Amino acid sequence: MRPLPPGDTQLVQIVDAALADASRRSGDFLLCRPGCAQCCIGVFALTELDALRLQHGLIKLEESDPERASRVRSRARDSAARLSPDFPGDPQTGILFDDESSLARFEDFGNDETCPVLDPATGRCDLYSSRPLTCRAFGPPVQTGEALGHCELCFHGASEEQIAASEMQVDPDGLELKLLQELSETGVTPGRTIVTFALVTSPSPRR
């Protein structure tokens, strides 16, 4: 498996620090807590960097807790079987198509699918330290297009000013784009995927 670019550690630290700062400013309006799985329902597109980070995380889990990792892989295979027939991409590689029709289909695709990384017994993420940036930024207000979006469970009763004051600046210096460019130069297959296929296509560690 290809190594993660060295800058990924810095990127994760930047995003996690931004989350901590936004959480402090959000106060009681932000209801995210361990065991809340609102953000673990429904698929979303991953970058190549997110997918590679998840794959490395799964291999580390297989080395430290093989039984838990086996359950993650099993859930991912079951998820792939459910999603493959209508997947708006190539189910063999897990890469999403980027034509207009496929992008439109993805809008309503897999909205009720539970993330295979979620442990149903605990309600916690089994690959939390390796989770995608979308997961790390879910909850606080984040700029999406021309509007601020946030978790629907949070900020009840908050004014527009209070929401704006809690905005999370996810990656202000654009480090993720630079790392994606580095990956493309190493021959990583371009294209976005989803958590399920990132895990299904992840190699097992050598025995």
Q: Indicate the angle between helix axes 7-26 and 48-64, nearest 10 degrees.
A: 90
pLDDT tens digits along 50-106: 999 999 999 999 999 999 999 999 999 999 999 999 999 999 999 999 999 999 999
Residue pair 38/153 in contact (Cβ under 8 Å)? The answer is yes
R_g of the chain computed on alpha carbons = 17
- Kindly tell me if the per-residue pLDDT of 204 is higher than 90: no
Where helices occur in 84-132 by DSSP H, the ranges are: 100-107
pLDDT tens digits along 115-171: 999 999 999 999 999 999 999 999 999 998 888 999 999 999 999 999 999 999 999
- pTM of the entire structure? 0.94
